[in-house]
Structure 1
């Protein structure tokens, strides 16, 4: 039940944020502003989810993962129940602008973040990968280059657990990536300019 509450907080917060963007209440022109505003909305929704006087909610941005070279989680929050049981959620964000011209590398970075979420069981019970973009190449490009086609998160595509993804350029952007779960990629029309994908990830490993 606690994980369901975390999931509901994320769903409500993401829908609310993109509604505010579409309505003009907030402007998101970078990943940093997306992170800031989503953290703000999650804080509000999380506080409203508390019903018992002993329940607590806490949130961190850029939470460092324990251990060498594990990086940071963009948004992390926790609900503590009246009997002191904790349930934790980790969210990774990507915000890709068409003008940045880094599309193949960016697709790789999404899968790298999904892999990080799968490996943060020590700090999270539930994870989400949120990707927003104004560039249709991430969503419905007809074909990708054979060198980078493994890293495919277009609308309607899927990934099967255990399949190794390789960046085949002469100077690869990074090492091969293999995920432990199946994934189906679904993009939502968020605003007149942006589309987003909210992908649930189950953390079940610790590196």
Structure 2
């Protein structure tokens, strides 16, 4: 299989699995009570769909949870050159292999870690950018929440307003994001790419997917 075809099929697996996940969650076909169960439910759907894409005997789909890799530089998330990926996919044949990394967040309104949650989203995106430099072909960030605060809050505190991924907002590459409180939750973050944040709202849930 040509590498480009393999990349496109891997994207198709992820996109199809994501659509199934968010609709089953929004309409009650699945229940995720925390981030761990959200990860397991998505992993199960990915594995099921991915194995259906093993069209030839040489095609192999593999999924790993919480996989550690070594990076080329220190991660802002782990403070070391080691990183742990929520979901790591490999889709391969005898000639090529395509790898995809997915970082997940699941924010519940009744466990509102604000504004630290918003900082952690950009921290995950920063890590995903590093994964792209470490032999990972595709990188995705996925967030689900039952709290509209992240989706369409009118405004945020001036001290943490840099960390904004509300529906319709954007981030220009290189912009420094700062936690301006007296005791910052984390160090400054500057991402390498431009991002547009486009959400989906289905029933009482909100979903954000970003390809890095």
Shorter chain as normaliser: what TM range? over 0.9
Number of aligned positions between the proteins? 199
Q: 2:166 aligns with which of 150, 154, 161?
A: 154
Show CA shifts across 1:2-27 (max 9, x none). 22112111111011112222332321
Pairing partner for 2:40 from 36, 41, 46: 36
CA RMSD of aligned residues (A): 1.2
Matched, 1:11 2:15: yes
**TM-score normalised according to structure 1 size:** 0.92
Residue 104 of structure 1, CA deviation: 1.0
Name the counterpart of 1:112: 123
Output the CA distance in 2 between the equivalents of 1:19 and 1:182: 28
| Deviation sequence 1:45-90 (CA, Å, 0-9, x none) | 1111121111111110101122545331101100012x33110000
Range with greater deviation from structure 2 (59-68 or 139-148): 59-68
Match of 2:208 among 165, 190, 197: 197
Q: Say which of 94, 97, 105 aligns to 1:94.
A: 105
Match of 1:78 in 2: 90
Distance 1:177 1:153 in 2: 14
Residue segments in structure 1 that go unaligned for 5+ positions in a row: 202-207
Q: 1:174 Cα deviation (Å)?
A: 0.4
> Which deviations, in whole Å up to 9, do the C-alpha atoms of 1:105-164 show, x marking residues without a partner?
000000000000000132410100001111111000011111001110000000000111
Distance 2:25 2:124 in 1: 24
Residue in structure 1 matched with residue 193 of structure 2 by the alignment: 181
Whether the aligned pair in 2 keeps the contact of 1:103 and 1:138 (CA below 8 Å) is no
TM-score for the superposition, normalised by structure 2: 0.90
Any gaps of 5 or more consecutive residues in structure 2?
A: 72-79
Name which of 4, 14, 28 aligns with 1:24. Answer: 28
SS in 2 for 1:71: strand
Aligned residues of 1:55 and 1:80 also touching (Cα < 8 A): yes
